[in-house]
Amino acid sequence: MEVNILRVLLAKIGLDGHDKGLKIIAKALQNSGVEVIYLGLRQSVEKITEAAIEEDASAIGISSLSGTHITSAKKLIDALKKKNIKCKVFFGGVIPKEDVASLKNIGIDEVFPVGSNLDQLVNVIKNNNSVKAQENKNVTKGDINSNTQKKQEVQFYTDSKISIKEFYTNKDTAETENNKTEVPGEYPYTRGPYKSMYRDKLWTMRQYSGFGTAADSNERYKYLLGQGQTGLSVAFDLPTQLGYDSDNKEIEEEVGRVGVAIDTIEDMHTLFKDIPLDKVSVNFTINSTAIVILAMFIAVFEERGYDAKILSGTTQNEMIKEFISRNSYIFPIEPSIKIVGDIIEYSSRSLPKFNPISLTGYHIRELGANAIQELAITMSIAILYVEEAIKRGMDVDSFAPRLSFHFACNQDFFEEIAKFRAARRIWAKIMKNRFYAKNEKSCRLRFFSGGNGTSLTAQEPLNNIVRCALICLSGVLGGAQAIHVAGYDEALSIPTIESVNLSLRTQQVIAYESGVTKTVDPLAGSYYVESLTNELEEKASQLLEKIEKLGGIVECVKSGWISSEIINSAYNTQKEINSGRKVIVGVNKFIGVQKNEKKIKVEKFSLETLKNQKERLKKVKKERDNRKVRNALDEIRRVAENGNNLMPVVIKAVKARATIGEIINKMKTVFGECNNY
């Protein structure tokens, strides 16, 4: 007897590279017996339509995270009708409740906003039920509030599956290498990189922000600085992150949506208008195009009459995690590493106060890694870049003191604090024992703690205010040098001004009212925290060793081993949430307590953004000296071909008003493009 197997085609529309949700859904469908055709990232309507025909798909599942779901859905439905393709179409992602009806009116069969139940989603797709019917069917299934469930012996674990004892004593920290008294500001820096920590200087309060045009973001930055924020952190739109100019017709719908649009140095001037760059440090969350963005920042600094040697801030500039998690890569992995090395090398010689890289575990955690994986993978990436710099003939102590880190901060309060303490200890030992660093600053791990947006919920979003406060506090107790607190509405849209202000006030209340800054590392000596710190160090070091034995981080990325390990972790976590073993208040427990839930105001995208940005870009192109631009771009190609440092020629190009797209396109002629990960 012939059995019809359901064939579901899954794809991500748009430029956004976050595919954790799509991969978890693919795994769940496969485990339920569905055949999955996984197209992956950055798919166009045309490619999806062609694949649906070639693969004889029974259903199409689309993920959309950049706010273009309405237009994308309409284009897809029109294309399917034109080709007379009859199959079910499902949409999921960051989709506001008010847009669900619009999507269904267009012809989408079912919509799964952020926070949808995974088991329910699979059953709806497999059985062709509606979400409502499935909800009714499962109304009592797995009810974690049921009094009829048999009591079982409860075992306690951290989020990383470290077993937690009922209580801890001095025996749990005795007879270990790290049992000796440790002092803040001294090797191995477990208790903090500086002796006095927040008694001398508070962490930098650096809210991650950017949207629309440079003028829009500039107003937000000035507001935040006026409210007491002490540093800036710039969010860029996806076209800027991937090297597209705003007048590129293929990406017009994404201009300014999830960050600020930056095409030329003139946008960078506007972004920091009336902001004293000699007094305010700036963090740039940018990777594939980091060399262009940093060049623009340096050029703006110099065109304002400042000496670049006093320029202060950080560029994320970390490409390996892009191949693992965010997928916002442009070039293949080897030239990507080369460009990162160029920035580190140039900065060590010309920007003594600037952090040329932020070694980022944050996005690895967002993909679904646990704390152990985040530590090990981040350290493996850090080792790679240190080795890259040393290969160039650089002394480790000439650049290592300016290396910085960026870690996620999740809900498991004590594990996150212990993770930060373990990270400092692991890094200090690597630098001293593996790279023989002599400068103590090379062994000090300094980090930016970001509240992990994936830990926030679209359901009952006001609950996120409490989550964000706890996340911030664990960053403080873990000894962060800079902190970002997510907006409570980030599961719904980019944060509103009210949400951002509350996030900043959260940091300020903790800093000035809680008393936690009055002594250094106040949880030191806690048997539980010290034991957890030791165990995280041990397990992360074991995983790091395994990565090394498998050929190092690049080989593990290319083989897919790293991504597979992380997605398995993410999938298992999602199963725990679905079953109720892992409680998320307002999502799988205490649901519907608020009968008249307050409607949350969300930030609305301005349709004028694209028009204004294109007009500004057109004006720059008209007024610049195009001969200088062509010469500068040709020089970039020559330098890329001979393997020399690209930073000086990119600075020259942006000063000539070359666009980000022109510069990246010229590099593509030498380095090519990557479509393999």
Q: Is the pLDDT of residue 350 over 50?
A: yes
The answer to whether 212 and 256 have CB atoms below 8 angstroms apart is: yes
pLDDT of residue 440: 97
pLDDT of residue 133: 42
pLDDT of residue 3: 43
Per-residue pLDDT averaged across 426-442, rounded?
Answer: 98
Q: How far apart are the C-alpha atoms of 571 and 124, rounded to whole Å?
A: 19
Residue percentage of the chain with pLDDT more than 90: 80
Q: Phi, psi at residue 100, to the nearest 5°?
A: -60, -45
Q: How far apart are the C-alpha atoms of 592 and 601, rounded to whole Å?
A: 20
Q: What is the pLDDT of residues 403-428, one digit of tens each?
A: 999 999 999 999 999 999 999 999 99
Q: How far apart are the C-alpha atoms of 126 and 58, rounded to whole Å?
A: 10
**H or E stretch at 360:** strand 358-360
Q: Is the pLDDT of residue 153 over 80?
A: no
Ordered by start, the domain boundaries in the chain are 7-137
Q: Is the pLDDT of residue 328 over 70?
A: yes
Label residue 199 left, alpha or beta by phi (over 0 means left) and psi (-120 to 50 means alpha).
alpha
Q: What is the pLDDT of residues 442-485, one digit of tens each?
A: 999 999 998 777 889 988 999 999 999 999 999 999 999 999 99
- Exposed / middle / buried, residue 225 (Cβ in 10 Å: 0-12, 13-18, 19+): middle
* pLDDT grade for 95, boundaries at 50, 70 and 90: confident
Q: What is the pLDDT of residues 247-265, one digit of tens each?
A: 999 999 899 999 999 999 9
* Residue 17: CA count within 13 A, CB half-sphere: 21
Q: Hey, what are 68's tokens?
A: 């273009």
pLDDT of residue 113: 84
Query: Which one, of 118, 69, 89, 37, lies nearest residue 368 by Cα?
Result: 118
Question: CATH classification of 7-137 is 3.40.50.280, yes or no?
Answer: yes
Q: Hey, what are 570's tokens?
A: 């993410």
Diameter of the chain measured on Cα atoms: 80
Residue percentage of the chain with pLDDT more than 70: 93
* pLDDT grade for 597, boundaries at 50, 70 and 90: low
The 3-class SS string of 314-330 reads EECCCCHHHHHHHCCCC
Q: What is the pLDDT of residues 223-242, one digit of tens each?
A: 999 999 999 999 999 999 99
Q: How many CB atoms lie within 10 A of CB 120?
A: 18
pLDDT of residue 15: 86
Cα torsion 236, 445, 555, 647 to 10°: value is 50
pLDDT of residue 607: 82
Q: What is the pLDDT of residues 631-655, one digit of tens each?
A: 999 999 999 999 999 999 999 999 9
* pLDDT grade for 176, boundaries at 50, 70 and 90: low
Cα torsion 529, 533, 536, 538 to 10°: value is -140
Q: What is the pLDDT of residues 2-59, one digit of tens each?
A: 445 689 999 998 888 888 889 999 999 999 999 999 998 888 899 999 999 999 999 9
Q: Is the pLDDT of residue 593 over 70?
A: no
Q: What is the pLDDT of residues 119-152, one digit of tens each?
A: 889 999 887 644 444 444 443 333 444 444 445 5
Please state, rounded to an integer, the average pLDDT across all residues of the chain.
91
Q: What interhelical angle do 69-82 and 97-106 show, nearest 10?
A: 10
Q: How far apart are the C-alpha atoms of 285 and 629, rounded to whole Å?
A: 26
Query: Which one, of 616, 619, 673, 629, lies nearest residue 655 by Cα?
Result: 629
